[in-house]
Amino acid sequence: MPPAQRRKEMPPDRRSYSGAESSEDLAAYYRLKWSVAARSVVAAVGGALLLLPLARFAAVAFFIGAVCGIANTLAIMRGSERLVETGGTAIFGLSSLLRLAAFSIVAAALAGRGPWWSLGPFLAGFFFPLAAYAWGAHRAFRRKP
C-alpha cells in the first residue's frame, strides 16, 4: 500500500503533525543522529583508554565494538529513512539481516582470536551508540502536554 493511502487510513486517535512540527522534528533528528555518532566516538576512545591498563585485548574489542555499533546505528537510521521514503519493507529487512551477519562475524572473529570473554566488551561497545540514540531520541521527541 502506498504511503499516501496509509496516511488516509490513520486512526482518528493518532496525532497528526503540521508541516512546521514535522520540519522541526526532522531537523532535531539530524542533529541527534550526528551528535550521537560524535559522542559515541568520544566514549569509545575514553572507554578503550580506561580498559587499556587492565586488559589490552578488551580495550581493542570495546573500541572495535563501538565503531561497529556506530556504523550499525547510522545504517539503521538510513534504512529507516529509506523505509519511510519508499515503503520497501523487503529491502529494509534484507539490509538488517546482512548487518546482523556482518557484525556477528566481527564479534566471532574477535572472540576466536583473543580470549572468549572479549565478546563482552565488544557487545558493550556495540550497543552503546544504539542506547545513546534511544535515550537522546526519548529526550528530543518527548511531547509536553
Q: What residue ranges do the domains of the chain occupy?
A: 22-140
pLDDT cut 70: percent of the chain above it: 83
Whole-number Å distance between alpha carbons of 141 and 136: 8
Angle at alpha carbon of residue 65, lines to 35 and 54, rounded to 5°: 110
DSSP 141: S
pTM of this prediction? 0.76
- Could you report the per-residue pLDDT of 63-110, keeping only the tens digit for each? 999 999 999 999 888 888 888 888 778 888 888 899 889 988 988 888
